[in-house]
Amino acid sequence: MATLLFEIGTEELPSWFVRHADDAIVGIVSARLGGAGLAHGAIRRFSTPRRLAVLVDDLAAFSERRPDVRRGPAESAAFDANGRPTKAAIGFARASGVDPADLLVEETDKGRYVFARRELGGDPAAELLPPLLAGVIDDLPAPRKMRWGDGDVAFVRPLAWLVALLDDAVVPVRFAGIEAGRTSRGHRFLHEGPVELAHAGDYPDALDRASVSADRSERKASVIASAESAAATAGLLLERDHALEEEVTDLVESPSAILGSFDARFLDLPEAVLATVMIHHQRFFPTREQGGSLAASFVAVSNNRVSDDTVVRAGYEQVLRGRLDDARFFWDADRRATLAQHAWALAGIAFHKELGSMADKVARVAKATRRLAELLGVSKEEAAVLKQALPLFRADLATQMVYELPELEGTMGCAYARAEGLPEAVAIALEDGVLPRGPSGALAASRVGALLSIADRLDTVTGFFAIGRRPSGSADPFGVRRAALGALRTLTAQGWRVPLPKVLQAVASSYSAPVVEDDVLADVERYLWDRVAGLLAEEGIAPMVVRAAVHGSRSVIGAARRAHLLQGLVAVPGFSDLLTLHKRAANLAKQTGGAARVKPGLFRDPVEGPLHDALPEARRGVERLMAGVRKQLAPWDLGHGPGAELHGLDAAVAEVVRLKTPLDAFFEGVMVMVDDAEVRGNRLALLGEVADALSDLGALSYLEAPAEA
Amino acid sequence: MRFQEMTMALDRFWADRGCVIAPPHDTEVGAGTFYPTTFLRALGPEPWRVAGIAPSRRPADGRYGQNPYRFQYYYQYQVVLKPSPSDVQDTYLASLYHLGIDPLAHDIRFVEDNWESPTLGAWGLGWEVWMDGMEITQFTYFQQIGGIDCAPVSVELTYGLERLAMYLQGVEHAFDVEVAPGVTLGDMRADFERQHCAYNFDHVDADLQRLLFDRFEAETQRLLGLDLVHPAYEFALRCSHAFNLLDARGVLSHTERQGFVQRVRRLTEACARAYLSARAAAAPAEVA
């Protein structure tokens, strides 16, 4: 048993890569060791901007022994008339790593064949490791790699050094012209000279002494703790920002927080502007007063620990002042025109050459939004807000602030609307309309904002489909997939029970060039339902249940609720039995031409009447289930799961499941396809009613009863 | 340290490390990367090291001299090392030390930067170097230039001279930077900046620049037909500048803008290919 250290030293890695590699490296190392048959204990991982490393405990000295059996040619082809191995047999033996004389003949169900048997494994770890560890570098997931110097090897950033130690012995790994050794490096500024390692196990302490905080989760905790305590020295609270915490953790090897401040006159800029400048542009944490308002101070997390931080702080403050000056300039300049005036400039901003300018897009969105509002129904107040918001929607795209800080789109629309003194609901709708900003971003809370968001996104999806630019595989240059997901999430969260085709017609009818043909719109609808299915799958719904829900629904919220209901129902034993019978009934009922009415006078067998009599109860059960689901599952952010679980529906489920007994008896007792056309037609009509009684639960034919005998 | 002492110190530093100290190129460019000593020399297998001050023009970035950091005319210090040496980060930090910036007394970071120049058909990966939160240098490993894979890979260091000087002299506006005793950058450039901003934003004759673009484009192609790569490349640079002026003047729609970018890119890529084939044709003689 030995301890293995492998450290990949690099020039500074991108922060997102450090995080991904930190997540992936243990799995990669463990897969490689497993593949080589090397047993091992726990694997610890380390990562900083300049290194990725693993420390493997209890590594076996030799790979595990395992038998290797390969079948070769048939005996008749393997030996000649004199019993000597043929060329085919010799070739097979060589390829299998055995001597031709050691080939065995065994009986199989296809005849007698030649076999090569040998034992693999038992190789020393020290021999297996060099190529194995080089392979780990190749396996690290990176979407974009680079070359450097004279070499043709690619990695995320140039490799600088490698350390590979098996206990106290160097493992001779070679990669990109670098030979692994026992020499690591410490912090770029806080540690002078190399870090020599006598033994693999010395690694954590040696790095610690070299001012490198190499355990990522410890470093992250220390980033947060030091930033919070820096803020606390001025009685301030740190503004927590998850993404910033992650990023800063991977920008430093030794975090040290510094509190700085800026001129309080900048505090009259909108908070979102201040936060964006600090967080996105400078990677500074904003701070708040105990009372809640943003403070004129920030916390920077430095990668260096200087004895006197006056110079560093002054540097931070000067850069931030420059940025805030810029922001103030845009804020003042943009407000010299109204949002309505900025909206004129949208004609000069292209959306796509075949889909017109942003002004064209916004005009289409306005039409579509009005139609959607009619379809969904809005209050008088909401209609008034909509009327004011529509001509200003996305006008902030033409402002200097959004040109310079594009992540503030929508936020600035809201801020400028407030500054103009427009009603608060209008300002909020303008920001809500650009939400969500990402796959997990917050959704529009206001109904008016949601209408704008849905119309805008579906305009994008429909338009690109209409000009033949639908996304394919991973390629989605126009963000169509993102737009589709945003629209569907918003639609579901609003709980609007409107058929998706009607929503799409409202959007498509605002297009005049290009005209959206019916087949294109049908294609868009299929694409959207596929995305709904994907979002439901992310909520853990089984694939067949997703299909039954999607194919049995016209509105997105309906599909989402049915999915969760059916997911529960398929687990009820009696329900799956009923499904089998129901499927049989539905299949037979398809043979009836029209919707014939059931005539009890034509019942000829005692099992027909009870089935007919049981239908009202089953229908009531289905109604109660659907009502229960609507009541219990409040609209939610699709893909993220409803916040509630279904409960108390057992009685309704029982009402539905009770249909099983008379239906079973019916199939046991009567022949449906009898010669008497009247009786046959009547029985088919009865089965048609059975199928119809459960149809509101979804397209049940997609559900397979698990234990069908 | 005065501004001119800084540039002299950088010249000395990089000359000592095997660089040719090349005088600035005399055609307008948006950045040192457009210099033939960078763009063309980054192509092909020959080792190459060059450094020097690189005046650059970005008409749209002008702020009439009001903004302390943004100008339509400014100075970069450009270094290209081919192939990229394995100790280039340490050498770079040593150059800061040489300027009087002790890396141990500051917060210096190498922050991911993915560089791309659509008009040059070029991209590379590297960092922005931050000192106490301020970007002072761009550090790029060229992966492609003129649409051609770089082999070997060159590394380009671009120092923002005005920012470094502001920092070293403790002034808050680039125009307050002292160049020589009693002379500031503002003395040298304030009028120039203001007048060019007025020209770029309000008085560029758009019809003339469109006409010039068309003629320069045709000239680039004609010269490439005569295997005159260097003159051809200069006309491609003039196209790029005419496009930048039209862009600053605000007369290009988004789509039209894309069209101009494509046209410049086709020219620079054609120059890159022509440079490489001329090099290949000349190679046997060099060997002999």
Give the closest of B125, B132, B172 to A146, CB-based. B125
- B123 at A interface, C-beta within 8 A: no
Q: Where a domain ends, among B141, B169, B200?
A: B200
pLDDT on residue A593: 63
Contact A187, A254 (CB under 8 A): yes
If asked whether residues B91 and B151 sit together in one domain, one would say yes
If asked whether residues A315 and A425 sit together in one domain, one would say no
Environment class of B287 (CB within 10 Å of its CB; exposed 0-12, middle 13-18, buried 19+): exposed
If asked whether residues B93 and B192 sit together in one domain, one would say yes
Q: List the domain range (segments joined by +) for residue A90.
A: 74-116
Contact A31, A25 (CB under 8 A): no
If asked whether residues B218 and B181 sit together in one domain, one would say no
Take residue A438 and report the two structure tokens written for it.
Answer: 């990402």
What is the mean predicted confidence (pLDDT) over A182-205? 96
Q: Does the pLDDT value for residue A361 go beyond 90?
A: yes
Measured between beta carbons, which residues in chain B are less than 8 angstroms from residue A148?
Answer: 83-84, 141, 153, 155
If asked whether residues B175 and B247 sit together in one domain, one would say no
Taking the alpha carbons at both ends of chain B, their separation in whole angstroms is 48
**What would the DSSP string read from start to end of A326-347?**
HHHHHHHHHTTS-HHHHHHGGG
If asked whether residues A447 and A581 sit together in one domain, one would say no
Does residue A345 lie within any of the structural domains? no
Q: Where a domain ends, among A310, A334, A358?
A: A334
Rounded Cα gap, residues A323 and A274, in angstroms: 10
If asked whether residues A325 and A177 sit together in one domain, one would say no
Take residue A127 and report the two structure tokens written for it.
Answer: 């021999």
Which is it for strands A66-74 and A350-352: parallel, antiparallel or unpaired? unpaired
If asked whether residues A506 and A420 sit together in one domain, one would say yes
Does residue A341 lie within any of the structural domains? no
Size of interface A-B (CB pairs under 8 A): 104
Question: In the structure, what pLDDT confidence band is assigned to residue A709 with cuts at 50, 70 and 90?
Answer: very low
Q: Does the pLDDT value for residue A291 go beyond 90?
A: no
If asked whether residues B192 and B237 sit together in one domain, one would say no
Instruction: Using alpha carbons, list the distances in angstroms from residue A196 to A47, A172, A182, A207.
Output: 19, 16, 6, 10
Measured between beta carbons, which residues in chain A are less than 8 angstroms from residue B152?
Answer: 149-150
Rounded Cα gap, residues B161 and B175, in angstroms: 12
Q: Does the pLDDT value for residue A57 go beyond 60?
A: yes
Question: In the structure, what pLDDT confidence band is assigned to residue B236 with cuts at 50, 70 and 90?
Answer: very high
Please report, rounded to a whole number, the percentage of residues in chain B having pLDDT higher than 70. Answer: 97
Does residue A461 lie within any of the structural domains? yes
Higher pLDDT, A701 or A429: A429
Rounded Cα gap, residues A449 and A454, in angstroms: 9
If asked whether residues B57 and B180 sit together in one domain, one would say yes
Please report, rounded to a whole number, the percentage of residues in chain A having pLDDT higher than 90. Answer: 79
If asked whether residues A78 and A137 sit together in one domain, one would say no
CATH code assigned at B168: 3.30.930.10
Q: List the domain range (segments joined by +) for residue B271.
A: 205-283
Nearby residues of A360 by Cβ (< 8 Å), 6 or more positions away: A347, A351
Q: Where a domain ends, among B200, B224, B243?
A: B200
Number of domains comprising chain A: 5
If asked whether residues B236 and B170 sit together in one domain, one would say no
Please report, rounded to a whole number, the percentage of residues in chain A having pLDDT higher than 70. Answer: 99
Rounded Cα gap, residues A226 and A10, in angstroms: 26
Does residue A390 lie within any of the structural domains? yes
pLDDT on residue A188: 94
What is the mean predicted confidence (pLDDT) over A371-379? 92
Q: Does the pLDDT value for residue B286 go beyond 60?
A: no
If asked whether residues B124 and B214 sit together in one domain, one would say no
If asked whether residues B189 and B257 sit together in one domain, one would say no
Which is it for strands A294-302 and B20-21: parallel, antiparallel or unpaired? unpaired
Does residue B127 lie within any of the structural domains? yes
Number of domains comprising chain B: 2
Q: For residue B136, give the chain A residue with the closest CA.
A: A319
pLDDT on residue A707: 43
pTM reported for the whole predicted model: 0.81
Rounded Cα gap, residues A406 and A221, in angstroms: 31
Q: How far is CA A687 from the centre of its chain?
A: 43
Rounded Cα gap, residues A624 and A697, in angstroms: 11
- Beta strands across the sheet bearing A111-120: A66-74, A111-120, A104-108
If asked whether residues A326 and A422 sit together in one domain, one would say no
CB contact under 8 A, A15 and B112: yes
Distance from CA of B223 to the nearest CA of A (A): 33
> Which residue type sits at A15?
S
If asked whether residues B244 and B155 sit together in one domain, one would say no
- B199 at A interface, C-beta within 8 A: no
Buried b (16+ CB within 10 A) or exposed e, B125-163: bbbbbbbbbbbbbbbbbbbbbbbbebebbbbbbbbbbbb
If asked whether residues A41 and A167 sit together in one domain, one would say yes
Q: Where a domain ends, among B200, B215, B230?
A: B200
Maximum Cα–Cα distance across chain A: 104
Measured between beta carbons, which residues in chain A are less than 8 angstroms from residue B83?
Answer: 148-150
pLDDT on residue B288: 40
Give the closest of B67, B141, B152 to A326, CB-based. B67
Instruction: Name which of B37, B280, B12, B6 is nearest B162 in CA terms.
Output: B6
CB contact under 8 A, A14 and B112: yes
Q: Does the pLDDT value for residue A245 go beyond 70?
A: yes
Distance from CA of A516 to the nearest CA of B (A): 23
- pLDDT tens track for A75-89: 888 898 888 899 999
If asked whether residues B12 and B119 sit together in one domain, one would say yes
Rounded Cα gap, residues A687 and A159, in angstroms: 72
Does residue B288 lie within any of the structural domains? no
Does residue A344 lie within any of the structural domains? no
Instruction: Name which of A448, A446, A556, A433 is nearest A492 in CA terms.
Output: A556
Question: In the structure, what pLDDT confidence band is assigned to residue B228 with cuts at 50, 70 and 90?
Answer: very high
- pLDDT tens track for B95-122: 999 999 998 899 999 999 999 999 999 9
Take residue A78 and report the two structure tokens written for it.
Answer: 């393997």
If asked whether residues A462 and A559 sit together in one domain, one would say no
Measured between beta carbons, which residues in chain B are less than 8 angstroms from residue A223?
Answer: none
- Taking all residues of chain A, what is their mean pLDDT, rounded to a whole number? 93
- Beta strands across the sheet bearing A51-59: A43-48, A51-59, A2-10, A159-166, A169-170
If asked whether residues A222 and A205 sit together in one domain, one would say no
Task: Mutate one of A13, A15, A144, A148 to test the B interface: name it (highest B CB count within 10 A).
Answer: A148
CATH code assigned at B267: 1.20.58.180
pLDDT on residue A644: 87
Q: Where are the beta strands (DSSP E) in A335-438?
A: 350-352, 356-357
If asked whether residues A624 and A487 sit together in one domain, one would say no
What is the mean predicted confidence (pLDDT) over A151-159? 94
What is the mean predicted confidence (pLDDT) over A246-271? 96
If asked whether residues A169 and A100 sit together in one domain, one would say no
If asked whether residues B111 and B38 sit together in one domain, one would say yes
Which is it for strands A194-196 and B48-57: parallel, antiparallel or unpaired? unpaired
pLDDT on residue A705: 54
CB contact under 8 A, A149 and B83: yes
**Residue A602 φ then ψ, to 5°:** -95, 0
**What would the DSSP string read from start to end of A623-684?**
HHHHHHHHHHS----TTS--S----S-HHHHHHHHTTHHHHHHHHHH--SS-S-HHHHHHHH
Does residue A232 lie within any of the structural domains? yes
Buried b (16+ CB within 10 A) or exposed e, B269-284: bbbbbbbbeebeeeee
Measured between beta carbons, which residues in chain B are less than 8 angstroms from residue A404?
Answer: none
If asked whether residues A249 and A273 sit together in one domain, one would say yes
pLDDT on residue A234: 95
Weakest mean pLDDT among A256-260, A359-363, A404-408: A404-408
Does residue B12 lie within any of the structural domains? yes
Q: Does the pLDDT value for residue A595 go beyond 60?
A: yes
Q: Where a domain ends, among A334, A358, A384?
A: A334
Helix (H) or strand (E) holding B138: strand B134-145
The SS3 call for residue B239 is: helix
Does residue B169 lie within any of the structural domains? yes
Phi/psi region, residue B21 (left: phi>0; alpha: psi -120 to 50; beta: rest), is beta
Does residue A707 lie within any of the structural domains? no
CB contact under 8 A, A282 and B133: yes
Environment class of A606 (CB within 10 Å of its CB; exposed 0-12, middle 13-18, buried 19+): exposed
**What would the DSSP string read from start to end of A294-306?**
EEEEEEEEESS--
Does residue A545 lie within any of the structural domains? no
Does residue B130 lie within any of the structural domains? yes
**What would the DSSP string read from start to end of A193-251?**
SEEE-SSGGGHHHHHHHTT----HHHHHHHHHHHHHHHHHTTT-EE---HHHHHHHHTT
- Taking all residues of chain B, what is their mean pLDDT, rounded to a whole number? 94
- pLDDT tens track for A307-347: 889 999 999 999 999 899 889 989 999 999 999 999 999 98
CB contact under 8 A, B133 and A304: no
pLDDT on residue B282: 78
What is the mean predicted confidence (pLDDT) over B231-253? 93
Q: What is the ipTM of this complex?
A: 0.93
Task: Mutate one of A187, A249, A280, A319 to test the B interface: name it (highest B CB count within 10 A).
Answer: A319
Q: What's the CA dihedral at A570, A574, A575, A581 to 10 degrees?
A: 130
Neighbour count for residue A156 (Cβ, 10 Å): 23
